[in-house]
Amino acid sequence: MAGTADMATDEKILFDTKDTRMNGPFLALALVAAALPTGLMAAGTHAGGHGHAAMAIGSPAESEPTRTIEIRMAETEDGRMIFEPASLDVSEGETVRLAITNTGALPHEFVMDTLPNVEEHKALMERFPEMEHDDPNAVHLEPGESGEILWTFAEAGTFQFACLIPGHYDAGMHGPLIVN
Ligand SMILES: [Cu+2]
């Protein structure tokens, strides 16, 4: 009888130990995940403040804009989300005023970068939907709001502009930005 009781106790203890082992890593991951957004936001802001020259797509305007490109963001009746125009063309070294208006019913954002950077940022936004950022190459607009980015495009190449609010990219909110 006593042996049976001991076995039952041992089993219970083993079970508890296993549970603890299971919970440990998950808890640690949750804590890391909770701590990450702040760190990433800080890193993003820091890069925005100091990394202008390092961005392949260019830098905040280094001279007066020579033209304005009007860009509209909205949802469509058939459930897509769009930028108008659907693609952008600028010249190497050109300084442009990007005048962006959200005519939709949902918040949208405009961010432009290299394709790998956009994809990395998109994955982050999917993991941390509440993530906010203050990057010079992006603007977040509530419905009806307008904003602008004054930008000098540096190198020729194919870049991308997108809205990285989760689901919006896949609903259509991305397009090529060609620097000729
Ligand atoms: Cu959007």
Residue 172 Cα to ligand 1 midpoint, Å, equals 9
Residue 165 Cα to ligand 1 midpoint, Å, equals 6
Summarize the confidence of residues 133-152 as an average pLDDT: 95
Q: Return the pLDDT at 13.
A: 41
Structural domains in the chain, CATH included, are 52-179 (2.60.40.420)
User: Measured between alpha carbons, how far is 12 from 23 in angstroms, rounded to an integer?
Assistant: 17
User: Measured between alpha carbons, how far is 91 from 114 in angstroms, rounded to an integer?
Assistant: 16
Summarize the confidence of residues 133-158 as an average pLDDT: 95
User: Measured between alpha carbons, how far is 57 from 158 in angstroms, rounded to an integer?
Assistant: 9
Residue 100 Cα to ligand 1 midpoint, Å, equals 12
User: Measured between alpha carbons, how far is 15 from 109 in angstroms, rounded to an integer?
Assistant: 49
Residue 79 Cα to ligand 1 midpoint, Å, equals 12
Counting beta carbons within 10 angstroms of the beta carbon of residue 109, is it exposed (0 to 12), middle (13 to 18) or buried (19 or more)?
A: buried
Q: Return the pLDDT at 106.
A: 98
Contact between 111 and 124 (Cβ < 8 Å)? no
Sheet holding 146-153, edge to edge: 58-60, 146-153, 95-102, 67-75, 81-84
Q: Return the pLDDT at 24.
A: 39
Any alpha helices (H) in the chain, and if so which ranges?
Answer: 2-50, 115-127
Residue 131: band (very low, low, confident or very high) from pLDDT cuts 50, 70, 90: confident
Percentage of the chain with pLDDT > 90? 66
Residue 14 Cα to ligand 1 midpoint, Å, equals 50
Q: Return the pLDDT at 35.
A: 42
Whether residue 49 is predicted with pLDDT greater than 90 in this model: the reply is no
Residue 102 Cα to ligand 1 midpoint, Å, equals 9
Q: Return the pLDDT at 129.
A: 84
Contact between 99 and 146 (Cβ < 8 Å)? yes
Please tell me the pTM assigned to this model.
Answer: 0.71
Q: Return the pLDDT at 136.
A: 94
Q: Return the pLDDT at 132.
A: 77
- pLDDT tens figures, 5-45: 444 444 444 444 444 444 434 334 443 444 444 444 444 44
Q: Return the pLDDT at 39.
A: 41
